[in-house]
Amino acid sequence: MSRIRVLVVDDHAIFREGLRALLEGREDVDIVGEATDGGEAIEKVRRLAPSVVLMDIAMPGMGGQEATRRIRKEAPDVRILVLTQHEDPEYILSMLKAGARGYISKTATASEVISAIRTVHNGESFLYPSAATTLIEEYLTHAGAEKSDYERLTDREREVLQLVAEGRPNHEIADRLFISVKTVLRHRTNIMEKLGFHNRTELIKYAISKGLIDMPRKMPS
């Protein structure tokens, strides 16, 4: 059985000591080093070649997000598991985008931490239940907000939205809908205000996301 080489990155000495005590003695885990911030973590990844890095987020100096990004660039085979008290969706998403393979709370049990380490070491992703719930709720809230915005449009505004996104000129839209150009312009203004858009490119991207039109070969500037 290959042993998992773990580097612990956290600015709190007591927490690092507790984590070491928790992990030492496991038949498949070796604590190869500790770091107090992101900069030291990068240096020790180069020198100690860990297979898994337990990374905190908020630390003096270089934080976990930047350290994760740099480690992933220099040593793509190293798996980074975020171990933190922060469960805000922005923290979770930023760390996952930076290249972390897992996210676990400091409130987790010993068995959960060990399971998370083994999971990311095997090349899989791990999300602590509360973090997964947070991301799902964030997604549902965002999706609900988009649906609500669209539902605020009147039937006529939805027709104008689709035609504008298709690139139809105002006079053609007016002829198709049997309304004046002035009314078309008023509908366009209302659509932009309700959806919070500032230009036609944003409107087209929105129409594509809603399935109203297909992706054009070249987006307008």
Tokens of 208: 């594509």
pLDDT tens by residue, 11-39: 999 999 999 988 888 889 999 999 999 99
Tokens of 194: 């309700």
Task: Evaluate if residue 219 carries a pLDDT over 70.
Answer: no
pTM value is 0.62
Give the pLDDT band of residue 141 (cuts 50, 70, 90).
Answer: low
Task: Evaluate if residue 95 carries a pLDDT over 70.
Answer: yes
Instruction: Find the radius of gyration of the CA atoms of the chain.
Output: 25
Residues 124 and 98 in one domain: yes
Residues 87 and 28 in one domain: yes
Give the pLDDT band of residue 10 (cuts 50, 70, 90).
Answer: very high
Residues 125 and 162 in one domain: no
DSSP state of 124: -
Please measure the distance between the N-terminal and C-terminal CA atoms of the chain and give it in whole angstroms.
57
Q: Quick check: is 142 in a domain?
A: no
Q: Quick check: is 218 in a domain?
A: no
Residues 16 and 46 in one domain: yes
- Partnered with residue 53 across adjacent β-strands are 7, 80
Residues 162 and 124 in one domain: no
Residues 131 and 197 in one domain: no
Q: The domain that contains 204 carries what CATH number?
A: 1.10.10.10
How many structural domains is the chain composed of? 2
The residue range of the domain holding 172 is 152-209
